[in-house]
Amino acid sequence: MSKKVVTKALVVSHLNENIGLSKRECQFFLESFLDVIFFELKNHNDVKIVNFGIFKIKSKKSRIGRNPKTKEEFMISERNVVKFKPSDFLINLINSNIADKDEIK
């Protein structure tokens, strides 16, 4: 079973077909939407999308890592990572029998 990859171009085409805006307007909408999410996460604000989930920034402390092949130790630097917690609605949708490909379209 091969997995389908959803690209920005596919999302823009889907918006174009379902909303009726031009592809350029749909692309601008998608880019603007993502820019808002990126901006808020960069400023360490949570982004909550109802019935989808919450994006959060989590700080990770530096730690010692090991190359499993050579057993060589090295420091993994302190960094921020994006965490996503799906909503109960999204989890139920994915796990229900209703969520097959044909019904989401």
What does the pLDDT look like over 22-62, one tens digit per residue?
A: 999 999 999 999 999 999 999 999 999 999 999 999 999 99
Task: Give the residue numbers spanning the domain of 50.
Answer: 44-99
**Residue whose structure tokens are 């996503």:** 84
> Does the pLDDT value for residue 5 go beyond 70?
yes
pTM: 0.73
Q: Check whether residue 56 and residue 77 sit in a common domain.
A: yes
Q: Quote the CA–CA distance of 105 and 96 in Å, as a whole number.
A: 16
Q: Check whether residue 81 and residue 60 sit in a common domain.
A: yes
Beta carbons of 1 and 7 less than 8 angstroms apart: no
What does the pLDDT look like over 69-104, one tens digit per residue?
A: 999 999 999 999 999 999 999 999 888 865 455 555
CATH number of domain containing 73: 4.10.520.10
Judge whether 104 lies within some domain. no
Angle, CA of 8, 88 and 96, to the nearest 5°: 80
Q: Check whether residue 38 and residue 78 sit in a common domain.
A: no
Q: Check whether residue 49 and residue 37 sit in a common domain.
A: no
Q: Check whether residue 22 and residue 58 sit in a common domain.
A: no
DSSP state of 1: -
